[in-house]
Amino acid sequence: MHFDHHAGLGELDGVVDSLPIHAADDTDITVPDPAAGARSVAEAIEDRYGYTNQSVVEHAPLSRFRTCGLDVTLARVDHGSIPCYGLAVEGPETDAKLAITGDTSYAIPEQSRAALADPDLLVAAAAVPASVHETVPDGRIDDTGQRPDGDHHGEDGVPRSLFGRQMTREGALALGEELDAETTRLVHATHYYPVEEAFAEPLAADGERHTL
């Protein structure tokens, strides 16, 4: 629910007569949206963009709804105290499925994993390769006063999450395997990727097109 993920909604005022905005009505969260003080994403959108002609359509997480001829499911993911949701988008006539993780750590709840599972294409957020996670600046320290050494380590000891909010590249790829994704493309990459890895597969590139 970061502002940079929805700030453009206000710019649509006057461009379109109306635009339904589908958002989660989930109020079962530990901390409300710190920017708006709202108890759900839907409330935050209404608070911020109530002056526009856009209408907010609320949906319970994991409850499938249809829009633009597609079946969509909002799946709560793990992005620290910020309420954040992934998406499962399915074609009712083709059975094709797209899954998008949104901003999240590797610790996606099991029910949400089930909703995102078996996609033809998984678009997963992968902030950094695990090899550089110790050099990425962040203000978080643990109870001992030390900077945490990654989160959600795999059996190989490699961290699959960064600061409990983002996935590493290795975490995103592991998630793709666990969800049995046919294709996994990595997005939300930061500039901390070494230059020789910045355009390496399976990092996605602007303008990619995929046919499902």
Q: Report the chain's mean pLDDT, rounded to a whole number.
A: 85
pLDDT tens-digit profile of 81-108? 778 899 999 999 999 999 999 999 999 9
Average pLDDT over residues 108-136: 91
pLDDT tens-digit profile of 64-76? 999 999 999 999 9
CATH number of 62-212: 3.60.15.10
The structural domains of the chain, with segments of one domain joined by +, span 1-60, 62-212
Q: How far apart are CA 72 and CA 127, in angstroms?
A: 25
Judged against a pLDDT cut of 90, whether residue 154 lies above it is answered with no
